[in-house]
Amino acid sequence: MATAAAGGRRRRVLFFPLPYQGHINPMFQLAGLLHARGFSITVFHVRFNAPDASAHPAYDFVSVPDDGMPADSPDTVQATMDHIVSVNRACEAPFRERLAALLERQRARAEDVACLVADSHLLTLLGVARGLGVPTLALRLGSAACFRCLTAFPMLCDKGYLPVQESSQLDAPVVELPPYRIGDLPASAAAHGQLREVLSRVVTAVTTSSGLILDTFDALEADELAALRRDLAVPVFDVGPLHKLSPAASSSLLRQDRGCLDWLDGQPPASVLYVSFGSLASVSASDLVETAWGIANSGRPFLWVLRPGLVRGAPPSSISLPDGFDAATRGRGVVVSWAPQEEVLAHPAVGGFWTHCGWNSTLEGVCAGVPMLCRPFFADQMGNARYVDHVWRTGVTIDGELQRGKVEAAISTLMGAGEPGAGMRRRALELKNSAAASIGEAGSSSVNVDMLVSLIQSM
């Protein structure tokens, strides 16, 4: 295996994650992977959602002031774009100052800085690093298919796919990007111009860096990865699934309720529906009610994550389930505020995963071999759901208005003993085995990690 050792020097890799749970975790997983190969690690971070340095005692941490950034987590597409822009703007000058100081210190040591690995949303900060002579690599936390969509965004606009004019267009196919429909594209009619600018910056961040790192694997997205390697002028490293390949400890920003694992120990194999909508998505009060009664009426055991702040307009500290829900589900369900998701999905009692289809959750479901019930909210989640139910055929999507009858029927389809549920489970197990093979000796992701390490060592 390629390692960091070269001529007796120990090289340092710098990291800068976007400060959201779904972006911090994979960044630390990649850091853990490179640290295990002998690199020293420094993590730059803002105060918003700052990582717990005590969980990573072998790393150095540098706090970058984020004055002027919103104090709350974004809960809409518009707010998320505003937040991303504010991170770049607020951190540009202080990051330059702190990076220059670090480089000066390194000159007096036996170490030198190999490169900065930054989230692909941090174009400004990648530019700061290159301006100070530090090579950069962009980590894109989404699928290869999604990044192809981002590179095609100008074409999608020029051909009239975007912005969407009528809801009747949503089911129309995107001929140039199968299997996408118009409704699967990352879009926001209310903020189309800003979204186009933010996505353009992501593509620029990749194409101006020395390489693109993706948390995916070849057997899952062979055609999409081949297309990226054909179309991009930078090397592409598919090194996923990172959460399986990396020795890194959890970087969860929320307190995990591990007691749910004890409850799962007492459930029959493949009987439990695990429900979690991730760390950013939010639902309406009416959707919460329909979700609750759909779960109750399904008759299935369930583990449901009700994260603080999940319900729009409700007090973050408390979420009220509808009257009668507890009585209807007593003895067959557990509700927690946050769960150790990787361990939950790997538990033999879990037979289905109701997910928002964020890429991390989608990949974790794939690696666990668990069929998925998809209810995407925004950004890349619609496209991820499309791949789950139409390409990999390992799940089913609840489209349109959320109604308890739809929910009950979808759960029955997903977890029923006959077809199509049995077929979904077979295909999910095949993908699980492919993921395991990718990180094995001579697996595609293991080979890509070696190539990535060699590139960093040569910088």
**What is the tens place of the pLDDT at every residue in 240-276?**
999 999 886 565 667 788 999 999 999 999 999 999 9
- Say what the pLDDT of residue 3 is: 53
* Active site (annotated) includes residue 56: no
Instruction: Spell out the domain ranges in the chain.
Output: 11-240+441-458, 259-436
- Say what the pLDDT of residue 282 is: 83
Class of domain 11-240+441-458: alpha beta
- Say what the pLDDT of residue 75 is: 59
- Helices then strands, counting H and E runs in the chain, come out as 17, 13
From 23, 35, 56, 347, the catalytic residue: 23
- Say what the pLDDT of residue 255 is: 76
Domain range 259-436, CATH architecture: 3-Layer(aba) Sandwich (3.40)
Residues 277-336 pLDDT 10s: 988 788 899 999 999 999 999 999 999 999 888 888 777 777 889 999 999 999 999 999
Local structure of 98: helix, strand or coil: helix
C-alpha span between 355 and 344 (Å, rounded): 13
Residues 6+ apart with CB under 8 A from 311: 282, 283, 284, 285, 288, 319
Query: What residue ranges of the chain have pLDDT lower than 70?
Result: 1-9, 69-76, 110, 248-253
C-alpha span between 266 and 244 (Å, rounded): 26
From 66, 119, 218, 287, the catalytic residue: 119
Residues 24-43 pLDDT 10s: 999 999 999 999 999 999 99
- Say what the pLDDT of residue 417 is: 86
DSSP structure string for 219-230: TTSHHHHHHHHH
- Say what the pLDDT of residue 76 is: 67
- Say what the pLDDT of residue 313 is: 79
* Active site (annotated) includes residue 356: no
User: Do the domains 11-240+441-458 and 259-436 sit in the same CATH topology, yes or no?
Assistant: yes
